[in-house]
Structure 1
Amino acid sequence: MITHPTAQALVEGVARWLPVDGSASGFALRVARNALEIAARDMALGPAADARAVERLRALTGGDGTRDALDRRLTEMIRAGEIAPDDPALIAHMKACALDSLAIDQPKYAHELG
């Protein structure tokens, strides 16, 4: 299961990291801006990406629940050999998850995987 910091964690991290005395360097300000932009994209795009992932996970696992619970179930099913690592539906799901993550984390990326 691949996770990333939540928008809330990114914003909190920037708030703790930036100095309050105005002594931040240009580099520090660029890092902070990038983190805040990622947080904003996560808030805008994340819910729809999670909803799409849940639908794919329901189809793959035959189960229901939160994305985290369905991700855990999928992991268990792969480990148990119930879903083959080369299953086309699994590969399609992983590719879609990667593209959704790239749209949030690295939107300038070409968004093509092979």
Structure 2
Amino acid sequence: MITHPSAQEIVAGVAQWLPVDGSASIFSLRVARNALEIAARDMAMSPAADARAAERMHALLGRGGTREELDVALVEAIRSGAIASDDPSLVAHLRACALDTIAIDQPKYAHTLG
């Protein structure tokens, strides 16, 4: 189960990190811009990515639930051996999750895995 800062947490972090006295360096501004672009992509793309992941996990687990609940259930199923770590459906799900995450976090690199 992969967790990351939410878009709200990223925006709040940038707001706290950037100086308000005009002393921000070009590098600092580029870092802030990159973080805000990630937050914007997260807000735009995460709902659909989460829905796709939940749908795949529903098929894998044979049960419904929220994305978070299904993530926990999937981890438990893998740990218990109910789902083999090399199960093709699991591997396809994890690959799709990785591609969705990369599309949000580092979209320039998404094409190398797709």
TM-score class, shorter-chain normalisation, is over 0.9
The count of residues paired between Structure 1 and Structure 2 equals 114
Whole-angstrom distance in 2 between the partners of 1:19 and 1:54: 40
**RMSD of aligned C-alpha atoms?**
1.1
Equivalence for 2:14: 14
**CA-to-partner distance for each residue in 1:18-38, whole Å, 9 max, x for gaps?**
011111111110000000000
**CA-to-partner distance for each residue in 1:24-67, whole Å, 9 max, x for gaps?**
11111000000000000001111100000000010111111111
More helix, by proportion? 2
Is 1:100 aligned to residue 93 of structure 2?
no
Residue segments in structure 2 that go unaligned for 5+ positions in a row: none
Q: How does 1:1-114 map to 2 (within 5 A)?
A: 1-113=1-113
Q: Percent identity?
A: 73
TM-score normalised by L of structure 1: 0.96
Whole-angstrom distance in 2 between the partners of 1:69 and 1:111: 30
Whole-angstrom distance in 2 between the partners of 1:113 and 1:15: 33
Query: In 1, are the aligned partners of 2:60 and 2:89 still within 8 Å (CA)?
Result: yes
Whole-angstrom distance in 1 between the partners of 2:22 and 2:112: 41
Whole-angstrom distance in 2 between the partners of 1:113 and 1:18: 34
TM-score normalised by L of structure 2: 0.96
Whole-angstrom distance in 2 between the partners of 1:48 and 1:112: 21
